Each structure stands twice: as C-alpha cells, then as structure tokens.
Amino acid sequence: MDEKVTVLIPSYNPGKYLRNAVESVLNQTYHGWKMVIVDDASTDDSLSTIQDYLSDPRIFLLKNKQNLGQSKTQNAGLEQIDTPFTMMLDSDDWFFPDTLEILMNEAKSLSDEVALICGKKTIIIENMEGEVVYKILDIKGRSFDDPYEFLLENFIPYPRFYRTSALKKVGGWPTDDPYEGRYLEDRRMDVLLIKDYKIKWIDKMLYNYRKHINNVTVNKKAILNEMIKWNIHYALNKWGNKFEPQFSINKNGWVELSSLLPKKLDTDS
C-alpha cells in the first residue's frame, strides 16, 4: 500500500520509553505509514531497545553527529519525508491503536487550507520510580482560522498531524530564536501556520502524553516562559505589529497571553 503519513520521532535520551513509542506505531489499525526516527546524539541505550525493529523497511533511523536540539532535529527528519502528512510523536509518548486511522479519515474530508489536525489527549503523570500516579483527560479544544483568536486562546494543539506541504512551505521548524529552536518548537510552528492556514480540532482521543521527571516542561519552566513571550512578540511583529501583548501567570505558573491592546498610531510623522 502507498504510505500516506510519516510518523516523525525526534529522540534524545528517552531510555525505555522509545520502544513503547515505536510499538504504538507498529500496532496501528491503519497500516499506510512510514516512520522516521531522528536520534539527537543520545548518550543512553535507547537505540539498542529498538534494534530488532530497525530491519522493518518502513522505519528509517537518522543519527545526528552532535546534539542539535528539537527544531534542527525535526528539520533533519522533515527532509526525509515524502508523504502527504506528517505526524509528530515524542519519544516518551505513545498513540492509541486507532490514532492514525482516525486522523487519516479526517484528513480525507478537509481542504488544503487545513495544515494541522489535533484532538484530545490523555496526560499520564509518573513519579520518580516511573509509576503512574494519576491520569488527566485533556478534552477541551476548538478549531481556528484567525491568528489573533488562536493566540488569545493560549491553546496548545495535541497531537500534531501536519500537512507536509505546509511544513515545507513555511521552511520547517524555525531556529531564529535565542535558543536556536531548542525550546517551544511546536508553538513556533503554530504561529507560522495559523497566518495562512487553518487548525482543525476533532472530538477524538488521540494521544498519550507522559509527564515524568525528565520532561523539559518539568525542568525548564523559566526558559519556556521566556520563549512563550518571545514567540508571541515574534508572531505579532510578523503579522503587522498592530497589537501590544499583555501577559499573566496562570495557576500552574505558566505565562499566558491575557489580552491584545491596539497600538497607538504615531501621529508625529
């Protein structure tokens, strides 16, 4: 069968979780997939845990010679992708068995204006021993076609099922921020796409998102909050510099956009 979607897995020291991620793709009810794993110079034994799967002709492994960070790693993977759709899978997360089937069926009915399809996710919280403490069903979401509405919603799409042509048209994941694309690459891509494309949310449970002691979101909150502000300023400037953002901190300590104030026209010129 002709493959229609490539699952892109950027991987850096995921340990035992990588095998779980790969197996969740192998166990899909939809079979028209390829997989590109890009190892970002891992120093653990994660690649050895999937060695028995690498003989599968649908699976392509690419190894960075040095650690490049998230965006550059994903761009290296994007260069290898020739399918109409690209599905992101973090190396410590996993799909439900019908995730790709649901998304491919949805994609058939959508126009080329839709660059990203997302849905509902289950958040799995683990303690230091790797034991599941509790689960949260993240079931809220909506579709977007207006850039400013998207920013004001503070919405983070998950999972991320992209139209590959849209990813390539905007130049892949950007690296022109202070950290050269190491952080918040997903939100940086969002603001590039929402300017000219639509984001479609569907009312389906699609993704298992694991939170554990090694998560970047757990350990790098100060940097991520800095980048949230940076990315919003970047987007507003790119969209015509019409508004001044106002920020707040939510109950979990994350920066959010609270409002957009119209900039005053310069009447002196």
pLDDT in tens, 154-190: 999 999 999 999 999 999 999 999 999 999 999 999 9
Q: Cα(209)–Cα(217) distance, rounded to whole angstroms?
A: 12
pLDDT computed for residue 219 by the predictor? 64
pLDDT computed for residue 1 by the predictor? 58
269 in a domain, yes or no?
Answer: no
CATH number, position 249: 3.90.550.10
pLDDT computed for residue 212 by the predictor? 74
pLDDT computed for residue 46 by the predictor? 97
18 in a domain, yes or no?
Answer: yes
pLDDT computed for residue 30 by the predictor? 97
All residue ranges of the chain with pLDDT < 70 are: 1, 213-219, 265-269
pLDDT computed for residue 156 by the predictor? 96
158 in a domain, yes or no?
Answer: yes
33 in a domain, yes or no?
Answer: yes
pLDDT computed for residue 126 by the predictor? 85
Number of domains the chain contains: 1
pLDDT computed for residue 17 by the predictor? 94
pTM of structure:
0.94
Computed from CA positions of residues 157, 253, 139, 141, in that sequence, does the dihedral angle turn out positive or negative?
A: negative
Q: Residue 195: which of 244, 141, 237 has the closest Cα?
A: 237
Query: Residue 222 to residues 54, 104, 253: CA-CA distances in angstroms?
Result: 37, 37, 10
pLDDT computed for residue 217 by the predictor? 55
Q: Cα(72)–Cα(66) distance, rounded to whole angstroms?
A: 11
56-62 contacts at long range (C-beta below 8 A, 24 or more positions apart): 56/26, 58/3, 58/33, 58/34, 59/22, 59/34, 59/35, 60/34, 60/35, 60/36, 61/37, 62/36, 62/37, 62/38
169 in a domain, yes or no?
Answer: yes
Query: Residue 206 to residues 44, 87, 122, 261, 269: CA-CA distances in angstroms?
Result: 29, 11, 8, 36, 53
268 in a domain, yes or no?
Answer: no
Domain extent, residue 243, equals 5-262
267 in a domain, yes or no?
Answer: no
235 in a domain, yes or no?
Answer: yes
DSSP 3-state assignment of 204?
strand
